[in-house]
Amino acid sequence: MTPAKSSRTPLTADDWSAAALAALERNGLAAVAVEPIAKTLGATKGSFYWHFSGRDDLVSAALALWERRDTDGVIAAIDRARDDDDRLRLLLRIVLSAVVASPGAGAIELALQPHASHPLVAPVLARVTRRRMSTLEALYAERGLTSDEARDRALLAYTAYLGHAQLAHATPDRLPKGTAFTAYVDRVVESLAA
């Protein structure tokens, strides 16, 4: 839960967006509602309307934050590793470790899936998926796979990521813990990178 700010510190649009994203992650798109989020932030609806014209603007801002943090940020980290001989393994290790090791990681994707046709969610979800798949395809192509092989392997890796997110969310006890988890991620990465 996002902590309330001091009444002396004005809330920013980013504060509202982060709180909306946290609400979406916990309870889905319907949880992105002005009054409950204002209460969580210790704010008034007036503060909300200072930054946003309505709920749709808040939903859009939360989705933009998710895209920047969980897609742009991860892709940028992989791009910064240009000298790394195996950026594919690095990417797989980052995303699989985050999904399994961090409570709630991957939960946003799961929360968005039932709303994949929603007019605000659909374009963002499609864009994020395209960018992630494109990045994976490029990394597989760097390893010498043909475009068809790279596309197929990228699809397998991305579905493995989504499946891990679902498993970590629904039945976290089914996943290994501690050093067994690290060894497990290593085996999965090797399987997907082979």
**Closest alpha carbon to 132 in 194, 57, 192, 67:** 67
Q: Which residue, 40, 6, 5, 4, is CA-closest to 20?
A: 40
86-144 pLDDT, tens digit each: 889 889 888 888 876 665 667 888 899 999 999 999 999 999 999 999 999 999 999 89
**pTM beyond 0.95:** no
* Fold of the 9-66 domain: Arc Repressor Mutant, subunit A (1.10.10)
Q: What tokens does 1 get?
A: 């839960």
Which of 126, 109, 115 shows the shortest CA–CA distance to 165?
Answer: 109
Q: In 3-state terms, what secondary structure has residue 187?
A: helix
38-67 residue pLDDT tens: 999 999 999 999 999 999 999 999 999 999
Q: So where are the chain's domains?
A: 9-66, 81-194
